[in-house]
Amino acid sequence: MTDRKNEELFLIVDQGGHASRAVIMDGVGVPVAWAQRPLNTYRPQDSYVEHDPLELLLTVQESLEEVVRKVGSRVNSIRAAGLATQRSSIVCWDNQTGEALSQVISWQDTRAGDRVDAVSGMAEHVHEKTGLFLSAHYGASKLSWCLENISVVKEAWEIGRLCFGPMSSFIVQQLTGDKRFVADPVSASRTLLWNLRSGNWDPELLDLFEISENALPTCVPTVHGYGDLKLEKTRVPLALVTGDQSAALFAHGLLRAETAYVNMGTGAFVSRPTRTSPQLHPRLLTSVVHEQDSVRHYVLEGTVNGAGSALDWVREALGVEDLEERLPGWLSDVNDPPLFLNGISGLGAPYWDPKFQSDFIGEGPVPQKVVAVAESIVFLLNRNLLEMRHSISPPDRIQVTGGLSKLDGLCQRLADLSGISVYRPAESEATSRGTCFLLSGMPEAWPEPGPGKWFKPDDGTAIGERYDRWVREMEKRVNREQ
C-alpha cells in the first residue's frame, strides 16, 4: 500500500540573494523536482545593494513554470505552497497597478545609515520592543529613505496609492494576482517597526521613523491563507510565508533546545531556540521564527553579514575567477593564513558596527588571503556562540546547513575552534526542506533522507591561537571606530 505522505506534494518557492528556486517535495521532504534561476545583484554605489524587481519576479515565475512542467500531471497532487524569502529586503509599489516604484533594496544595503544615526538615542528602547538593534540593514530606515528620495514613491503616498514593506508582501501580491496586502511575522519583524510582543506594527516605532501604517501590509501569522498560485490549469493555496533563515532551522524537524543551528549562505546565522516567549540579550537578536495557532517560536540569533558575500568580495578584489573550485583545496593545504577583520556588508553580531572597515592583518599570497576570509566567517560564528553562553547553556552539537556548509574545511574549523561536534545533514540546502516541514504541519517524525557527516573537534590545531589574536584585533578596531 502506497504511503499517502509520499503521494501528496508541496511546492516551495525559495527566493534568495543569489537565485530564485522552486522545489516540489513529497510529504516527507524528499525533492521530486526543482528549478532555479540566477538573480543579479546590483551595487550602483557604495553601501547600495539592490535587485531589479521585474527581474526578481521573472526568476521566480520561470522557476515555477519549469518545475511544474517537470512533474506533469502530478501537479494536481500539490496540496499547498510555501514562500521563503530574504527577510530584511524591502520594495515599494503602486497599490492600483502593482507596478514596482523602487528597486528591491537588499538586506545588505546600508544607504540609510544616517537615519539610524539620527535616532541612536532610542537604541535600547528599540531593542526592547523589537528584539533587534538599530541598524540600516533592517527595513525601517530603507522605507523612510524611499519616501524622501524617490519621487514616484512620494507621489504615490500623497495620493493614497503606495504599498511598501517587506519584499515577501510584494511577491505574494504578484504571484497570487489579488489585492491581498499582508506580511508574515518573520518578514515584518525585520523592519524595526514590528512589536515582538503584540505581533503588530508599533505606533511609537512608526512615529520614530516617520512611517504611516496606512501604506504597510496587515500583519498575519506564518501559516495563513495568502491566496492561490495559478499553475497551468490548477490553483494551489499559498498557505505559508516565512524568511529563508527561519525556514532553514526546521529543515530536519522540530527544534532542539540543545542544538546550535548554523546556516551559511550569503550571510551566516547562528540560532539557539529559547521558548515561546521572547528572551532578550544585550548583544544578540531575539527573532521570531514561526507563528501558528497564536503560538510564536523564538530564537536567540547571531548574524554574520559577510559569509558568501565576503567570499564574493575577495574573489573580485583578488581576481580569483575559479574560487569555488580552488577553495576546498586551499582550506586543506593552507596552515598559517593571515587574519581578516570581516566587516563585509557591515559588521553584525555581537559587535554591531555597520561602518566597520574590513582589513587584513598580515600578508600572504592569494590562497592564504582567501583562507583568511573563510576563517573569519568561522571566527565570527564562534564569537556569537560564546556570547550565547551568557543566556543559554552550551549546545551539545552544532548543526550546519546552507551552501557554504558543503566546505569540509569550514565545518572542521568550526568544530576545532568551538570544541563542539558539528553535524552536517545529508541535505544541506535547508530552506526548502524546512518550509516543507512547516507546510506538512510540523510532524514529529521527519526522517533524514540519508546519513549526514560528523566533524569531531581536534584540539591539536593552531586555529585557537589565530582566533585569540583575531579577537584582540577586532575589539581594538571596533573600540577605535566607535
Burial 347-360 (b: 16+ CB within 10 A, else e): bbbbbbbbebebeb
| pLDDT over threshold 70, residue 348 | yes
> Model confidence over 110-140: pLDDT tens digits?
999 999 999 999 999 999 999 999 999 999 9
Q: Give CA–CA dist 105/136, Å, rounded.
A: 11
> What cell was used for 353?
558596527
Cell of 158: 500623497
Q: How confident is the model at residue 462 (pLDDT cuts 50, 70, 90)?
A: very high
What is the pLDDT, as a whole number, of residue 121? 95
Average of per-residue pLDDT across 7-31? 94
Q: What are phi and psi of 216, to 5 degrees?
A: -95, 155
One-letter amino acid identity for 159? I
Cell of 179: 489585492
List, for residues 148-168, the tens digit of each pLDDT value: 999 999 999 999 999 999 999
Percent of the chain with pLDDT over 90: 88
Residue 6, pLDDT above cutoff 80: no
Can you tell me the mean pLDDT for 370-398? Answer: 96
Q: Is the pLDDT of residue 5 over 80?
A: no
Mean pLDDT over 241-257 rounds to 94
Query: Nearest Cα to 18, choosing from 59, 58, 47?
Result: 59
Give the mean pLDDT of 443-450.
88
| Parallel/antiparallel/unpaired status of strands 182-183 and 218-219 | parallel
pLDDT > 90? residue 380:
yes
Residue 331: name the closest of 468, 455, 425, 475 by CA.
455
The overall average pLDDT reported for the chain is 94
Nearest to 466 by CA among 350, 360, 310: 360
pLDDT at position 460 is 76
3 — pLDDT class (breaks 50, 70, 90): low
In the structure grid, which three cell numbers stand for residue 376, read together? 573569519
The domains located in the chain, with CATH, are: 4-243 (3.30.420.40), 304-423+457-481 (3.30.420.40)
1, pLDDT greater than 50 = no
Quickly count: other Cβ atoms within 10 Å of residue 135's Cβ. Answer: 24
Rounded mean pLDDT, 321-345: 96
Kindly report the pTM of this predicted structure: 0.89
C-alpha to C-alpha distance for 26 and 13, rounded to whole angstroms: 15
Tens of pLDDT along 288-331? 999 999 999 999 999 999 999 999 999 999 999 899 999 999 99
Give tens-digit pLDDT for 186-236.
999 999 999 999 999 999 999 999 999 999 999 999 999 999 998 877 899
pLDDT of residue 283: 94
Q: pLDDT-derived band of residue 354, with 50, 70 and 90 as boundaries?
A: confident
**HEC states along the chain?**
CCCHHHHCEEEEEEECCCEEEEEEEECCCCEEEEEEEECCCECCCCCCCEECHHHHHHHHHHHHHHHHHHHHHHHHHEEEEEEEECCCCEEEEECCCCCECCCEECCCCCCCHHHHHHCHHHHHHHHHHHCCCCCCCCHHHHHHHHHHHCHHHHHHHHCCCEEEEEHHHHHHHHHHCCCCCEECHHHHHCCCCECCCCCCECHHHHHHCCCCHHHCCEECCCECCCCEEEECCEEEEEEEEEEHHHHHHCCCCCCCCCEEEEEECCCEEEEEECCCCCCCCCCCEEEEEEEECCEEEEEEEEEECCCHHHHHHHHHHHCCCCHHHHHHHHHHHCCCCCEEECCCCCECCCCCECCCCCEEECCCCHHHHHHHHHHHHHHHHHHHHHHHCCCCCCCCEEEEECHHHHCHHHHHHHHHHHCCCEEECCCCCHHHHHHHHHHCCCCCCCCCCCCCEEECCCCCCCHHHHHHHHHHHHHHHHHHHC
Query: What pLDDT score was predicted for residue 17?
Result: 87
Whole-number pLDDT of residue 40 = 96
Residue indicated by cell numbers 520592543:
129
C-beta neighbour count of 196 within 10 angstroms: 22
% of the chain surpassing 70 pLDDT: 98
Output the pLDDT for position 279: 83
